[in-house]
Structure 1
Amino acid sequence: MLHVQMRLWNSLLCLAFIVLLTPTSEAANKPASARPNIIMIFADDVSWNDLGCYGHPTIRTPNLDRLAKEGLRFDNAYLTTSSCSPSRCSVITGRYPHNTGAPELHTPLPEGQVLFPQQLKDAGYYTVISGKQHMGPYALTAFDHVSKGKGPGREADWVPILKQRPKDKPFFCWFASVDAHRKWQASNEYQPHKPEEVVVPPYLIDAPETRKDLAQYYDEISRIDFFTGKILDELDAQGIADNTLVLFFADNGRPFPRCKTRLYDSGIKTPLIVRWPDAIKPGTVSQSLVSTIDIGPTFLDVAGVTPDSRIQGVSFENVFKQPEAKVRDYAIAEHNWHVFKAHERMVRSGNLLYIRNAWPEQRNLCVESIEFPSGEVLWDRFKAGKLNEFQRDVFLKPRPAEELYLVTEDPHQFQNLASKAEYAADLTRLRKVLDQWTAETGDTVPSNPTLDRNQRPGEPKPPEFEHREMPGDARQATTINAPGPILAP
């Protein structure tokens, strides 16, 4: 009898271990009605403070303002790169750009990389991507339904997708607009902004061309705002708003000089708003530092799914109920090839922002600095010698190898403190943080880098374009899962 009891006890223990070791068992055991639906709305080329809820006085964003009023607004959210496809590849993997194998613009995500939507799909979620994709074919394998989107901003099929979804499963939607990417496309979803309503940043020229350019950019933000409102209305109509987490953010900063691709707040800081009535108190604001590599693990966390060990980000779900909760002490970002050769790294810590430039001998350019009205006006004034010190930044050559800014007192990052004796200890500390991150994540400065694709003003035409050695290649960074420093020791 004792022998039979022991065999029964051993069988029960084995069964318990099988259940505990099944990664998605927690999620799979939850009824569909108890697991939150998740909608991620992804703007294209929108800076963090270009929404009404972030203090912009004239851009009309009533629906995004409603999202913030009914949810949580993050005031210190940072991207891992201010560049379209590398930013998206970083989000979908929860990994730094040089660890994804796709750190440069227009490089597809390699097969075999972790995809957090695949984990949601494996746990029983219906997964959708609609709109801008820009990650290559492998990334799309994580989705049950793939759509290129409809309409000028590719948002017009988002509500039909919500109507037609399977009703017996929780769902995850990756809704990615092309608003506000150039070139501008007018439509009827918003009241057009007037040039006189524009707020011209101090690093641009306050000229008619700039004001018209910015007004059209504002219009594109209003279009994604309009379709965000349609999503919120549809969730209400279906009676599922309370148990649906809606997150809004952007892939990089506004497509203007000194913004997109750059590691200043105008380029690398993102608006980040989360509404989830079942879990988040309305009107919450958090100063907690978070990174966009934390989005995937946060979604997995709320779905009850254990994040894959290759994910380098960390969940910020605890901020939903404790807005003061600390997620990280360091947010780290990259600037790699984006039409022009580049290798910069940034650390945001407390009130400080540190930038290291591997190639300070060259101008820090993006096509938006040259080929569009705001950039063209800058270049004309530069050649005429009519720029102030802030507007000359785009043309600076050589640039500082290191930059240090006190963000709270210098929101545009104009006053470089790297040479100030009173900040020497801070500079040393952040150098060490970046050195540790570089070593642990396998980041490298390429010895045979990808060269400029476009011609720089006043310089020889570059050779025929090809992607060459990319950051991390020399250390096989795609096989490295260490996240580098997150919290201070």
Structure 2
Amino acid sequence: MHRRTVTLTLLLLALLPLTALRTTRAADERPNIIFVLTDDQAPTAAGFTGNPQLKTPNMDRIAREGATLTNAFVVTPVCSPSRASLVTSRYGSELGIVDWINPRSEPELGLEPELVTWVELLQQAGYATSLCGKWHLGTADRYHPTQQGYDHFMGIRDGGCPPKDATLEIDGRNVRTSGFIVDIITDHALEFIDEHKDGPFLVSLHYREPHSAWLPTRDEDWLPYKDIDPVIPNPDFPLLDIQKVKRWTREYYASCASVDRNLGRVLSRLDELGIADNTVVIFTSDHGYHNGHHALWFKGNAHWLLTELPEQEWDNIPPRRRPNLFDQALRVPTAVRWPARIAAGTVVDEVVSNLDWFPTLLAMADVEIPADVTVRGRNIVPLLEGKEVDWDNDLYCEYSMHHGATTHMRGWRTPAWKLMIDFASPGRAELYDLVNDPEETTNLIDSTEPRVVAVRTMLEEKIRQRMAEIGDEVATSR
């Protein structure tokens, strides 16, 4: 053999291991993902969002060491449709899931298996996938999380369970557990992380907290709040039941603290395993929550917290209910840490929504979205990396409530204005000037000021156009 040929052959053989190493390293460099989703967490219920009374050092750590998203929203302010939008990047009205799924009255309702989720695309790309916690997208076997991309599931398929000693699905069996659910769910998530530490893995850690019931919690979570005098948002609201708001706020804070304590366990484990730098940790919630804001409690299906209930103008809405698309119900506390790509202390002020997680997580994992999959959201990785992006800060939102009241609320929010029209209640609409009235206290829907009338007309047109785009026939003819 010619010397040059021999030399070239030896050189190619020498390079083969290096090439293989590069291929393996490229695969290994795909980030692990831990997606922490709390249930019913107000945008004001975290230290990093400005609450000085609620101590959340681990939530704050994610924000401090990564990016805080100050204008993160959901498109439906209630559990099941929000979770459906999260995994599919579609509106609940497109999926037939418009209110929380009641397994007793709606046992056959759920997220259809033929719908593509970002979880299954990660699974197909080689990610080990686990859901620990709450699903609430159908209890029938055909809607099981393992039919939607999860290799492993433990937790609850329906909407809730007691905070302690609950029955959970573990290894395909219903098991009566002993202990606090927030701790047990975290235990299983940590086990999965340990088993798949070489990655890449996805852990969806869906806590039931701070959903009611808030107590009992561990003493270490309850005692710091047991005797505080919580600051409440609307203490001068006429007929507000201040004592109930304060009592419930104390209990609610303890439940938030139990999440934060367990979040600390997760962050510590990543440090111990040496995989924190290339692990994306996302902290967010399935929707916002009223803790006395507007004299309300709960989310988009809120109740009045008054000593006397107001008269109700609409027969389809009971007096105790206050269906709403307020920012307090739509905005969620959100932070993302990924040391390998996101600079510590990053602040993202652009408006993002839960529709955006689908393209964002796939972009992080370098997984392409199939051409035949409809995605309503946008990739926010450039925002997280601090890049200048031409970004549309408008938000379309919806909630067709049918548990406890009947509504077809559709809304459009810009940085300056928000319009809500309830097509199930003729005449029920709300218009807020968010620049001068960010707390949404003064409804301008009946204003005859030309500027305000023009804004209302413009926003209503945007609502109807979006409804037509997504095939929402609830009210397009009205």
**Preserved CA contact (<8 Å) 2:186 2:205:** no
What corresponds to 2:64 in structure 1? Answer: 69
TM-fit CA distance, 1:50: 1.3
Tell me whether 1:103 sits opposite 2:98 in the alignment.
yes
Aligned partners of 1:30 and 1:90: how far apart in 2? 33
State the secondary structure of the residue aligned to 1:57: coil
Alignment check: 8 A CA contact 1:52 1:59 kept: yes
Q: Is the 8 A contact 1:286 1:324 kept in 2?
A: no
Displacement of 1:310:
1.7
Equivalent position of 1:236 in the other structure: 271
Residues 197 and 273, structure 2, Cα contact 8 Å, conserved in 1: no
1:260 corresponding residue in structure 2: 299
- Distance of aligned partners of 1:408 and 1:286 in 2 relative to their CA distance in 1, 3 Å threshold: farther
Q: Name whichever of 167-176 and 149-158 sits farther off.
A: 149-158
SS at match of 2:204: strand
Q: Deviations over 1:250-291 (max 9, x none)?
A: 112226526501310111111111111111111111110101
In 2, the alpha carbon distance for the partners of 1:198 and 1:324 equals 40
Work out which of the residue numbers 393, 401, 404 in structure 1 matches 2:431.
404
Deviation at 1:429, TM superposition (A): 1.9
Aligned to 1:164: 194
Cα distance in 1, alignment partners of residues 194 and 348 from structure 2: 35
Secondary structure at the aligned position of 1:156 is classed as helix
Give the SS at the match of 1:155: helix
Cα offset for 1:324?
Answer: 5.4
Q: Normalising to structure 2: TM-score of the pair?
A: 0.75
Letter in structure 1 aligned against 2:205: F
Q: For residues 177 and 432 of structure 1, do their structure 2 counterparts lie closer, same or farther at Cα, with a shift above 3 Å needed?
A: same
The aligned runs of 1:25-174 (5 Å cut-off) are: 31-106=26-101, 107-136=109-138, 137-141=143-147, 142-148=149-155, 151-153=180-182, 155-174=185-204
2:206 to 165, 176, 182: 176
Q: 1:450: which partner in 2?
A: none
Tell me how far 1:200 sits from its aligned partner. 1.6
Shift of 1:323: 5.9
Structure 2 vs 1, CA of residues 161 and 332 (structure 1 numbering), >3 Å: closer, same or farther? farther
- Please give the root-mean-square deviation of Cα atoms over the aligned residues, in Å: 2.3
Corresponding position of 2:455: 426
Matches within 5 A, 1:197-236: 197-202=229-234, 205=240, 207-236=242-271
What is the match of residue 417 of structure 1? 444
Alignment deviations for residues 392-436 of structure 1 (CA, whole Å, 9 cap, x no partner): xxxxxxxx5332212243232111223332322322221121111
2: CA distance, partners of 1:259 / 1:410: 22
**What code does the residue aligned with 1:413 have?**
E
Matched position secondary structure for 2:419? strand
Preserved CA contact (<8 Å) 1:289 1:326 = no
2: CA distance between counterparts of 1:253 and 1:302? 26
CA distances 1:209-262 after superposition (whole Å, capped 9, x unpaired): 221111101111111111111111111111111101111111122265265013
Residue deviations 1:295-339, cap 9 Å, x none? Answer: 111000111111242222111111011265344332111112251
CA contact (8 A) 1:177 1:224 kept: yes
User: What one-letter code is carried by the residue in structure 1 that aligns with 2:35?
Assistant: M
Secondary structure of residue in 2 paired with 1:169: coil
Aligned pair in 2 of structure 1 residues 78, 98: CA closer, same or farther (>3 Å)?
same
Deviation of the 1:349 alpha carbon: 1.3
TM-score (norm 1): 0.74
Query: CA contact under 8 A between 1:39 and 1:247: conserved in structure 2?
Result: yes
Contact 1:32 1:168 in 2 (8 A): no
- Runs (4+) of structure 1 exceeding 6 A deviation are none
| 1:411 counterpart SS class | coil
Query: Deviations for 1:147-177, whole angstroms, at most 9, x for unmatched residues?
Result: 1177333533255334433344301111100
SS in 1 for 2:379: coil
Change in CA separation of 1:48 and 1:86 when aligned onto 2, cut-off 3 Å: same
Q: 1:79 to 1:418 in 2, by over 3 A?
A: same
CA contact (8 A) 1:83 1:338 kept: no
Question: In percent, how many aligned pairs have the same letter?
Answer: 31
Cα distance in 1 between the residues matched to 2:146 and 2:76: 21
Q: 1:408 to 1:158 in 2, by over 3 A?
A: farther
My pick for the range that moved more, 116-125 or 300-309, is 300-309
How much has 1:351 moved relative to structure 2? 2.3
Structure 2 CA distance for aligned equivalents of residues 81 and 195 of structure 1: 34
Partner of 1:347: 412
- Worse-matched range after superposition: 412-421 or 264-273: 412-421
The secondary structure found in structure 2 opposite 1:274 is: strand
Q: Which residue of 2 aligns with 1:482?
A: none
Q: Secondary structure at the match of 1:157?
A: helix
On the 8 A contact 1:259/1:266 being kept in 2, the answer is no
Letter in 1 for 2:135: Q
Give 1:10's aligned residue. none
Where does residue 401 of structure 2 map in the other structure? 337
Distance 1:86 1:30, change over 3 A: farther
The question of whether the paired residues in 1 share the 8 Å contact of 2:88 and 2:358 is answered with yes
Q: Secondary structure at the match of 2:122?
A: helix
Q: Relative to 1, partners in 2 of residues 1:405 and 1:302: Cα closer, same or farther, differing over 3 Å?
A: same
Structure 1 contact 343–357 (Cα < 8 Å) conserved? yes
| SS of equivalent to 1:213 | helix
Q: Which one of the candidate residues 383, 387, 394 is aligned to 1:319?
A: 383
The count of corresponding residues between Structure 1 and Structure 2 is 383
CA contact (8 A) 1:124 1:169 kept: no
Amino acid at match of 1:179: E
Higher strand share: 2
- 1:187 aligns with 217
Q: 1:104–1:337: 8 Å Cα contact kept in structure 2?
A: yes
Unaligned 5+ segments in structure 2 are 1-22, 102-108, 156-167, 169-176, 301-323
* Partner residue, 1:389: none
How far apart, in 1, do the equivalents of 2:446 and 2:47 lie?
36
Aligned to 1:451: none
Asked if structure 2 preserves the Cα contact closer than 8 Å seen for 1:158 and 1:231, the reply is no
